[in-house]
Structure 1
Amino acid sequence: MKYCKSALSAAILASLAVAAGAQAQDAGERATELDTVVVTGIRGSMERSLDTKREADARLEVVTAEDVGKLPAHNVADTLQRLPGVNISSSSADEGGFDEADRVSLRGTSPSLTQTLINGHSVGSADWFVLSQGNNVGRSVSYTLLPSELVSSVEVHKSSQAKLPDGGTTGSVNIVTRKPLQFADAITAEASLGVVNSEQADSTDPQLSALFNYRNEQGTFGILVQAFSQKRELRREAQEIPGGFFQIGEDDPVAATNPDLVGVWAPGLLGSTLFEQTRERKGGLVDVQFKPADNLTLGVSAFSSDMDADNYNRNFMLWGGNFARAQAPEPGYVVRDGVLAQASYAGDPDRDYAVYDMIYREASAKTRYATFDVDWDISPDLRSRFQAGTTKGEGTTNRQYIAEVTLARGGGASWNTHGASAPVDWSVGGDTSPAGVTSFGTWGNQLVSAIDEEDWFSADFTRYFDVGALSSLDFGLRYADHEREARSPEGATPGDIWSDLQEGATAPYPSGFADGIGGSFPRNLWYFTPGALRDAVVGNSTWLSGDDGPTGRHNYGGEWKVAEESLAAYVQANFRGDNWSGNVGLRYVDIDQDIHSYQAVSNPANAEVSSLFGQWIRVRTSNSHSRVLPSANLKFNLAPDLVFRFAASQTQTLPDYSALGAASWGSDLNKTGGGGNPNLKPVVSTNFDANLEWYFMPRGLLSVGAYAMDLKDYVAFGTETRQLFSELTNQLEDYLVSVPVNSDGKVHGVELAYEQPIGENFGVSANYTFADGSTAHTWADGSNNLLGTSRHTYNVGAWFENEAFGARLSYTRRSEFLIGLSGANPYYQDDFGTLSAALSYKLNDQLSFSLDALNLNDPEITYYQSSTIPTAFYSNGRQYYFNVRLKY
């Protein structure tokens, strides 16, 4: 770290020396606002994106929408994945892989280290999945709540500047919406009427959006209104192995009869998994601008997006944890590379060989913000911008209707593994019909909600200069009060649910289930219908508030709160000379944290609060972090078409909210869980970036760059044994819990990018990113991987466009990367590629048609624990979006 800090200081001093020795500029030269330019179509958007990238003083990637609702891909995250150095993922916790990108990260790091902004300000995020609402809460933003119709452009800042909001260790993504005074016409009205067909879900659903903009002739008043209502059905078919494989211990009963199995890995659960969900997203944006004077613009903006996301997950599982520790396999079993790769078990008449979870959740997620802006040219040489705003995200699981039944008593079981590249072949004997159920259990009939909110104020100033190399000086401050909270204040105590449920309606798994992933495992399965499950739970449960002490349903163990108050101030000097430009700046950040959580205790006399879930004491931790973050960016025009850039900076990201605040939690099936660590330090990165860009023709680019990041106090995860409250036994028991810890890490890599038109109507593009990351932390599998680091990522694409037709074809692939922990075991997502296409036809200026096809290669998303131990295989199918666009 001392070397990196010295090198960073030297880089900043060198840039100051270059600025001091530069020749004076002409007296009238200063930054000016560009006239509004409206570009449409593939060629226009590519040209505008490259122009913005070329003119920027810092490392910047830009995607510009061809027109309203016409980003290069159907959703914002899918659009960004085509940029060099950008990765996407489709999940934020343990919900597994889906067909739509949900998180964005930069340069081989986790999404939490990438900051997402809208128009330069924070946005409260929310997730629909219950674990992302409480146990696994990062600092990334869910892109499923941000429809592409709202986006004018997206800026990816790869190098830091003092004037940019802090929070993105590896960079930031700024989503820019349209403003009413930017429109060329007095009245603009547009509508998009469409449908989406989800092939695997066998469903076609409506997709509607509309825009109206008014701007008066004087250009002093404008109002923009956008609205959207979009529905989509999902069906995911999978083999899941929850919690991964476990190691047979020397104290396990089977060790006495089969000592060769001690230390061997065996599956705790092998699942045949069907997930279905309905996502309905509704909301809109209102933006008003008013110019009472030529030097003063006032703006008010408000955005809201609400998504209902009810979902039903069914997982019929071979229950290895219930017999493989105690029962000897039949002779002929195979141990391969430390894994019990092939085994058969005779039926024990007193033992269940299968467990079946059916979990129907009423879930939702929503986000909103409101801002008030003042742009004031105080004088010809001094401009200012003030903003006050508030944002709130909320993810809620109102109810969970859960049936967990055991089956296949005395039937025996078998499995045969094929490494991480193919599903496990497995089977259970005995009665697996509803009549074969031997026991019933339920849990989680509990309200769970996550609140993410921030209030902020910022004041930014720019002072222009007429002489010398110093062209302008940016300075300002920002204050923010942010809170992230997980709540579980009330729920229902179950009664005799099973008496009703066992007579409830059932339905079969769909025909052709899991054909897309192969393997031999149970497919001809049944499940209770969502209505039957809901009615049985609601009709036989008592809803209790959280204020009833020991008899209430307040789950204190699932609650925590992280409150952060931050003040930042910055100064940034911008320089310009003959064929060079750049900036140097300092940003001071001061953050106070208050972290609230609960710790379980076994003695009620020591408890401060109690409920049916146990007894707790309140735990509060306060932290203060202050730091000066330097940054420097230099740009040299080596030739009219050749640009070289160099950047150096220090950046900071606070640990994930749940890493700081989450109380310990556990799964009774495998006695593993997770918890928080309120004493974590912020991640501080020292960054270097160099890039050479050759703009060899209009809309043509060839670039090569290198980057390095030294991550101090990187957050990894260790494990320890903690006592947690078990809902099954109603007492404290030992769980192996994953706990976040500070470590150090580093990542360096190379980025290559190429874009070229071929003639007037064709073009191709390609990019490649290499990322080599490691951490000083050693995971349980002996590796030193960084979370989220794909060593190789590449994109290739081609396009065609004339006056009427447009077409794009693109393929993206990223190599394997570490996801996190499954139970106590690290697990990875395997290499993954998607093929997509977009077609458009413009009948006239008022009417056009488009067809977007996603996941045309029907990719399989594979997770694994090691090269010999798989974790999950997911198939989501293809999606087709057809839209008719009307424009006035």
Structure 2
Amino acid sequence: MAKHIRSNLSALSAAILAVSSFNATAQNNDLQMLEEVVVTGIRGSLTDAMDIKREASGVVEAISAEDIGKFPDTNLAESLQRVTGVSIDRSNNEGNQVTVRGFGPSFNLVTMNGRQMPNSNTLDSEGVNRSFNFKEIAAESVAGVEVYKSGRADISSGGIGATINIKTARPFDYDGFTAAGSIKGMMDLSNEEGDDVTPEVSAMVSTTFLDDMFGLLVSGSYSERDSQSQRVGTQAWVRGLGSADTTGNFWAPYTFDVDVANHYRTRENGQVVLQFAPTDSITATLDYVMSNYEENIDMNRTSYWFDNPESVTDENGTAVQIRNPNDELNFWAWDYHFLTENESVGLNVEWDVTDTLRLTFDAHDSTSHSQPDGEQSETIANLKNPRIDGVGLVDIGADLNGTDLPTIIYDDSDLVAETGNGAYDPSNIVTDLFQKRGNEIENNIKQYKVAGEWDNANDGALRTIHFGVENTEYNVDAYRTFTFGFVDADISGLDLTFDELGDFGSDLGDTSGLFPYLANYSAADFIDIIDEQGAFFVNPPTVNRVNEETFAAYLAFDFETEFNDLPITINAGVRYEDTETEGTSVQNGIVSLNYRNTEELQVIYDNNPSDQTLEGEYTRFLPNLDIKVDLTDDWVVRGSYSKTLSRPDISAMFPATQISVARPNGPFNATQGNPGLLPYESENLDLSVEWYYAEGSYASVGYFKKFVDNFIGSTVEQREILDVNGEPLRDPSVNARPGCPDGSATPNSACLSQPGDPVVTWDVGTPGNLENTEVDGWELNLQHMFGESGFGAIANATFVDGDVEYDITSFEQTLALTGLSDSANLIGFYEKDGFQIRLAYNWRDDFLLSTGQPQNFNEPTFTEAYGQWDLNASYDINDYVSVFVEGLNITDETIRQHGRYAEQLLSAEQYGSRYTLGVRAKF
């Protein structure tokens, strides 16, 4: 039977590559009835995806490869955003994570060939989550993607929004020897520092031998990308900062910044698959998948802080005119270093025990390791203008123009009068502070599954019984480093230059009033200099570990029957899951606080790390019921009920207490995780009507509603934090003793906490299960082929609503769903006589990105509505070779974010357009 299946698969080529392994038996029976056809290209890919949607139990969307090694977009996330109900988040103009039906990346489970994949990220500001990063996987190695929007008992749990399964190729998918490859040249129009054109190459070779008993597939890809991003914005809008001419609430910006960042990215992907079929009834597959993703970013920023601004506000209390006399300019440098290594080894054995019983064993050991070289991901340095007798000699300010860019104001005449030079003269640049921070994370998943399918050979409504058990062990080791210090050191030897910003952000509006210069220097060089002078120090890391083990068992039934001569297909099942969690933190004890600087209370640690462990456990039953009715040959209606869950982010379960901000007179902020968090649970209803009116053409309308329990939100507890002796930490900056503050490398004992100092009350943020929520929405989809003309079009839209939207008039809200937004796609294409062209527009409405700004826990960040045009075209020179061009963000759109009100600009960022020219071959 296995060889018979392989022959059909090779004949159907890319059409069957995207068929789900979860429905293998039922679909293989259907394949035996099909004629042999070869389907490639845009039209074939869309027709395959439509057929999967039509035949599936529940609500399923799919994307198929257009040909061997040819996915619709150069990035998986960019392809997924074309699917109804799917939106994406972008990083440096590259899709990296997805939102489905308004539920953000943490609410969606990503699997590869049905297996849960680990994720690791390093930025301290992002925490440690389960969100898969699609930019780490080259699209050329993917044969298809399925998006399961409704739950099924035989699919791993973890996705409230959706479960997204990535399918990779197997040698038995092809008929004998097959090879494909491509060479591309990539050009980012925004790039200024890197190479003008960067390479991307990929290749795949597959063959079978020894009378098709063995199969071997090897694929790999290598990609480089150099680009530049530019940003104008602020770190936060702070409620109550400074003074205002109105009563009640008012907001002023924490800073104003102009950033220019140069990105250098390298990505490597590889896959080796060996298949073995000793008999017609047994097929074994051993596969190895790896990816390495490395990105280095050097960023410089000119900015200033508003410490105690005088403000004029609008009717909402938002500052529209800000003045801060006697201050200074700041010149920042960032060196980012991101390195992630992913590996997965898996074994799958399928055994057709009898004509009616198939058993499957599947196991994999997969690891994602960020910063395996141990290097911290962020190195930060700041320089500034000097203060004379403690007073800054630059007057700073800004005039805000509604939702446009601010006009930056600075007056350095007093500095010129005092020193003879202005704010940008190197003689008026002194050191300020440094930071090194980030996470090294090793995330390992071991998963074992034994599954069975029994087909009813007799007449009757019951057709198939699915059953199985599964064990998943999820282990995360995280090493967090956070070092922050003010310095007073000589910067001689630092290579500091000033570049004019020129027409920076020309599409953002009039920038004539922004800073005229950008400081250019390396944060790493800065660290080297202060290290040579003995001013550098590193705080001990905090080690966090989470072990999560889940045992699952499922039972599901497929029925086929009729009612009033209408064919009805039913899938009913239940999944049982038992999960145990254990969170452990290993950290050095806190000795005291050190009054090191007027802006800093340094945390002093001992050298005696100790463990803190907390545990949690929960058991859940997850039922599902899918009913599909074929009203006619063209009309299908379906309804689904399912219960799904999503587990908390990993960093939310770290039990360690982390001090994040400690400054004289406050704020005093800290965080602590909660391993006892319960998962998000959602009861889901889906209804849809689908009309398949022509080959490759259909229209559908779907409605969904989700009832989510145990929604996790942020809670803040005001409490004391104890030192190693069990005494509360005290503030040495109040009634400071002589000689303090003292920035010496060795702490001054007079500046350390002492028994007579006031006790600090900390705002400790911790996650908790809070409220229940409801989300509902509509999905509209139209896919139409214009006969044999070669033209086709797709239009889809998703409208989402819920009772978890952020209320900008409330200051007590603890619960809000990030990522909730409407979205739409419009795609037109032409494919005929070897020529293909596709123009696609993707739009996403404004949405809540987070409930905390970078320097402000209590103020929201909204991403404004964004639309992007993409274009690709190709021409088949012959049956084997084609040339192509791809364009991303061809209209050079800007991504903007704002705070509580639209007038509170947080960020306006440009990445530019990206174009790729290449040649593809297959044999």
TM superposition score normalised by structure 1? 0.86
Is contact 2:106-2:649 (8 Å) kept?
yes
Q: Extract unaligned runs of 5+ from structure 1.
A: 1-27, 92-97, 249-253, 545-550
- Counterpart mapping for 1:65-104 below 5 A: 65-91=65-91, 98-104=92-98
- Counterpart residue number, 1:686: 683
Rounded Cα–Cα distance in structure 2 between residues aligned with 1:846 and 1:838:
19
- Counterpart residue number, 1:118: 112
- Counterpart mapping for 1:583-594 below 5 A: 583-594=571-582
1:152 to 135, 143, 146: 143
Q: Deviations over 1:5-50 (max 9, x none)?
A: xxxxxxxxxxxxxxxxxxxxxxx99962626864211111111111
Distance 1:621 1:503, change over 3 A: closer
1:310 and 2:289 correspond: no
SS at match of 1:112: helix
- For residue 269 of structure 1, report the CA deviation from its aligned partner: 1.1
1:573 and 2:557 correspond: yes
Letter in 2 for 1:739: T
1:875 to 889, 906, 910: 910
SS at match of 2:48: helix
- Counterpart residue number, 1:427: 409
Distance 1:427 1:501, change over 3 A: farther
- Counterpart residue number, 1:806: 836
Distance 1:598 1:213, change over 3 A: same
Distance 1:306 1:798, change over 3 A: same
- Counterpart residue number, 1:746: 774
Is contact 2:136-2:267 (8 Å) kept?
yes
- Counterpart residue number, 1:196: 186
1:343 to 280, 301, 322: 322
1:770 to 793, 799, 804: 799
1:706 to 703, 707, 711: 703
- Counterpart mapping for 1:381-420 below 5 A: 381-396=356-371, 398-399=375-376, 400-407=378-385, 409-419=392-402
Is contact 1:785-1:818 (8 Å) kept?
no
Bigger Cα displacement from structure 2, 838-847 vs 718-727: 718-727
Is contact 2:118-2:130 (8 Å) kept?
no
Distance 1:744 1:775, change over 3 A: farther
- Counterpart residue number, 1:368: 343
Letter in 2 for 1:190: A
Bigger Cα displacement from structure 2, 721-730 vs 682-691: 721-730
SS at match of 1:309: strand
- For residue 541 of structure 1, report the CA deviation from its aligned partner: 2.7
Is contact 2:617-2:676 (8 Å) kept?
no
Distance 1:388 1:887, change over 3 A: same
- Counterpart mapping for 1:150-229 below 5 A: 150-184=141-175, 186-202=176-192, 203-216=196-209, 218-229=211-222
Distance 1:474 1:210, change over 3 A: same
Distance 1:619 1:30, change over 3 A: closer
Q: Extract unaligned runs of 5+ from structure 2.
A: 1-24, 387-391, 413-421, 594-602, 722-728, 732-741, 744-750, 754-758
Letter in 1 for 2:845: S
1:815 and 2:856 correspond: no
Rounded Cα–Cα distance in structure 2 between residues aligned with 1:785 and 1:754:
35
Bigger Cα displacement from structure 2, 738-747 vs 671-680: 671-680
Q: Deviations over 1:242-277 (max 9, x none)?
A: 1333323xxxxx66xx67466321111111112221
Is contact 1:138-1:657 (8 Å) kept?
yes
Is contact 1:602-1:615 (8 Å) kept?
no
- For residue 446 of structure 1, report the CA deviation from its aligned partner: 5.3
Rounded Cα–Cα distance in structure 2 between residues aligned with 1:493 and 1:637:
64
- Counterpart residue number, 1:445: 436
1:715 and 2:712 correspond: yes
Bigger Cα displacement from structure 2, 689-698 vs 495-504: 495-504
1:357 and 2:332 correspond: yes
SS at match of 1:310: strand
- Counterpart residue number, 2:630: 637
Q: Deviations over 1:198-254 (max 9, x none)?
A: 011143211111111112273321111111110001211011211333323xxxxx6
- Counterpart residue number, 1:757: 785
Rounded Cα–Cα distance in structure 2 between residues aligned with 1:582 and 1:863:
45
Letter in 2 for 1:131: S
Q: Deviations over 1:824-864 (max 9, x none)?
A: 21111111111101100110122111111011121111111
- For residue 769 of structure 1, report the CA deviation from its aligned partner: 0.4
Is contact 1:273-1:316 (8 Å) kept?
yes
- For residue 478 of structure 1, report the CA deviation from its aligned partner: 0.7
- For residue 739 of structure 1, report the CA deviation from its aligned partner: 3.5
Rounded Cα–Cα distance in structure 1 between residues aligned with 2:27 and 2:875:
43
SS at match of 2:150: coil
Rounded Cα–Cα distance in structure 2 between residues aligned with 1:504 and 1:30:
65
Rounded Cα–Cα distance in structure 2 between residues aligned with 1:140 and 1:740:
18
Distance 1:151 1:117, change over 3 A: same
- For residue 381 of structure 1, report the CA deviation from its aligned partner: 1.0
TM superposition score normalised by structure 2? 0.83
Is contact 2:712-2:815 (8 Å) kept?
no
Rounded Cα–Cα distance in structure 2 between residues aligned with 1:539 and 1:776:
48
Distance 1:394 1:602, change over 3 A: closer
Distance 1:79 1:30, change over 3 A: closer
SS at match of 1:77: helix
Letter in 2 for 1:398: E
Letter in 2 for 1:522: L
Rounded Cα–Cα distance in structure 1 between residues aligned with 2:108 and 2:494:
50
Q: Deviations over 1:170-219 (max 9, x none)?
A: 221001011101112x2122221111100111432111111111122733
Letter in 1 for 2:548: E
Rounded Cα–Cα distance in structure 2 between residues aligned with 1:56 and 1:497:
66
1:464 and 2:466 correspond: no
- For residue 436 of structure 1, report the CA deviation from its aligned partner: 5.9
- Counterpart mapping for 1:502-521 below 5 A: 503-506=494-497, 508=499, 511-520=502-511, 521=513
SS at match of 1:78: helix
- Counterpart residue number, 1:19: none
Q: Deviations over 1:429-486 (max 9, x none)?
A: 3243253656424443356311211111111100111221110100001101101232
Rounded Cα–Cα distance in structure 2 between residues aligned with 1:84 and 1:446:
39
Distance 1:126 1:730, change over 3 A: farther
Letter in 1 for 2:795: A
Rounded Cα–Cα distance in structure 1 between residues aligned with 2:385 and 2:218:
55
Distance 1:213 1:357, change over 3 A: same
Is contact 2:713-2:814 (8 Å) kept?
no
SS at match of 1:168: coil
1:829 and 2:863 correspond: yes
Rounded Cα–Cα distance in structure 1 between residues aligned with 2:862 and 2:766:
18
SS at match of 1:534: helix
Count of matched residue pairs: 817
Letter in 2 for 1:340: A
